[in-house]
Structure 1
Amino acid sequence: MYQTNPPRSPKEILPTMYDLKSEDPEELGGSDQFHIYQPRLLEETFRPANYPLDKVFTGTDLNLYYDPCHTQWYKRPDWFAVVGVSWLYEEKDLRLSYVIWQEGVDPLIVVELLSPGTEKEDLGQTLREVNQPPTKWEVYEQVLRVPYYVIFNRYTNELQVFTLQAERYQPVDITNSPLWIPSIELGLGLWQGRYEGIERLWLHWFDEEGNWIPTTVEREEQKRKQLNEEQRRVATLQAELARYQNTFGKLPESGGSAE
């Protein structure tokens, strides 16, 4: 490739998300209902207190291109979140994939939902084959250096959390306290509840006071209750005004001077 002077940035000369494939029909996994509902719940409740919603992006089963030297290599996390980047690609288009050299911002957290076919790779128990792309664990830990890596086994309800320490993932003891991420003022824990009609343990975000972040349905219900309460207050005031008028007659006009 011809080198210009000064050199052009990777964003200008490397493939964009429009040039790279966004799905692979031969790729297995991620199609069961839990892999649909759990990422959706994570997305609905991921509300960082110190970032506007238009500067937060979450991806579900989306190609994540990570290596500008091997532009066709990608991983496909079950769910990941990026903060400080527009929720739209170049603030105008829905993403087909997430391309690191185009976006310039790495994920803050990746969540993998264990399944029998991906368990060993998710847990870093597979070895990189010769002349093959790095494993998922290697990409998250050594290439993207994702600060928080969360693995949830829905069959055993085991939750594992890893954070980068001395350039390697180290397990976090969450026995007595769930994961808290100071940079976004959010925590991630296991919530026993009903979502999409299914009662079970779910991964769920919570705020600094320990309150579970409301889902979309819960937020709409809160708005409905607030609207109903406001309507009741208005109706009560109108009723009191009507009683006053019935008792004392027409209210005096304001602004006039007394003689």
Structure 2
Amino acid sequence: MIQPHTQLNLPKGEDLPSSDGLPVDNELHILIPNLLASILGFIWAERLDWFLGINMGIFYATGVNPRVPIVPDAFLCLGVERVKDNKLRESYVVWEENNIAPLLVLEVVSKTSGDEYDKKMAKYAQLGALYYVIYNPDFWQRDKHEPFEVYRLDNGQYQRSLSEPFWMPEIGLGIGRGLGNYRGIQREWLYWYNQQGQRIVSPEELLQRYQERFGELS
């Protein structure tokens, strides 16, 4: 918990940058978070208590410097306003969000190693993110890890889970890999899953099903 006297000295969100300014080096860093976001936007369309950020800076007071953000490929928060003060967020400033840290952070591993398994993991533990997902489909052998790993924070340390899809009761969803078609690309993606382990279809897939059905009836 941030102490009141400490919070008085923290910068305002409008005075902070929106990201770290570093470009992504893989199209998956954009496509995978956007697929997850499109599914959430469909199944949680009536909910206003969640926010999913993509390549957006998170500023938090439990790290070394509150002016230096950590920028995951995606992160999910619950219990916050979907749209804050009728404006879209430029960054996520924890001390301006009732000190609500993300429940989930996602990193897609790059060709250039980004310290996902050590330095970033330590920072996400400081942030207090309950779940940390690392997706590494291309460089897992180089990094001596598995292509898909999920960690849960326990007493300040991340403990890896071996189940897939991995159910997250605090979110009410699971996450895991699955084959599918997104934006005309057939490959393995990350998807949300229900408690029975069934993959939740994307809006794009639902549209395709309706189009196929309509074609059969015509």
Matching residue of 1:196 = 183
TM-superposed CA distance for 1:52, in Å, is: 4.9
State the alpha-carbon separation in 1 of the partners of residues 43 and 35 from structure 2. 17
TM-superposed CA distance for 1:23, in Å, is: 3.6
Matching residue of 1:35 = 29
TM-superposed CA distance for 1:158, in Å, is: 0.8
Alignment TM-score, normalising by the size of structure 2 = 0.81
Rg larger in structure? 1
State the alpha-carbon separation in 1 of the partners of residues 106 and 158 from structure 2. 14
SS at match of 2:32: helix
Residue 113 (1) aligns with residue 108 (2): yes
State the alpha-carbon separation in 1 of the partners of residues 205 and 181 from structure 2. 12
Deviations 1:163-202 (A, max 9, x none): 122321111112xx42001122211111111111111111
SS at match of 1:54: coil
Could you tell me which amino acid in structure 1 is paired with residue 72 of structure 2?
P
Q: How does 1:1-259 map to 2 (within 5 A)?
A: 10=7, 14-25=10-21, 27=22, 29-46=23-40, 52-67=46-61, 70-90=65-85, 92-104=86-98, 105-119=100-114, 121-124=115-118, 135-141=119-125, 143-155=126-138, 156=140, 158-174=147-163, 177-220=164-207
State the alpha-carbon separation in 2 of the partners of residues 167 and 23 from structure 1. 26
Could you tell me which amino acid in structure 2 is paired with residue 100 of structure 1?
V
TM-superposed CA distance for 1:224, in Å, is: 7.3
Could you tell me which amino acid in structure 2 is paired with residue 165 of structure 1?
D
State the alpha-carbon separation in 2 of the partners of residues 97 and 210 from structure 1. 33
Assess, with a 3 A threshold, how the Cα gap between structure 1 residues 48 and 16 changes in structure 2: closer, same or farther.
farther
State the alpha-carbon separation in 2 of the partners of residues 136 and 201 from structure 1. 25
Assess, with a 3 A threshold, how the Cα gap between structure 1 residues 218 and 18 changes in structure 2: closer, same or farther.
same
TM-superposed CA distance for 1:162, in Å, is: 0.8
Deviations 1:69-128 (A, max 9, x none): 7331110001110011111223x1101000111112110011100113234x1001xxxx
Sequence identity percentage: 30
TM-superposed CA distance for 1:51, in Å, is: 9.7
Assess, with a 3 A threshold, how the Cα gap between structure 1 residues 48 and 139 changes in structure 2: closer, same or farther.
farther
State the alpha-carbon separation in 1 of the partners of residues 97 and 107 from structure 2. 22
Could you tell me which amino acid in structure 1 is paired with residue 135 of structure 2?
F
RMSD: 2.9
Where does structure 1 lack aligned partners over 5 or more consecutive residues? 1-6, 125-134, 233-259
- Pairs aligned (count): 204
Could you tell me which amino acid in structure 2 is paired with residue 182 of structure 1?
P
SS at match of 2:204: helix
SS at match of 1:35: helix
Assess, with a 3 A threshold, how the Cα gap between structure 1 residues 18 and 187 changes in structure 2: closer, same or farther.
same
Where does structure 2 lack aligned partners over 5 or more consecutive residues? 141-145
Assess, with a 3 A threshold, how the Cα gap between structure 1 residues 194 and 49 changes in structure 2: closer, same or farther.
closer
TM-superposed CA distance for 1:48, in Å, is: 10
SS at match of 2:29: helix
TM-superposed CA distance for 1:225, in Å, is: 8.7
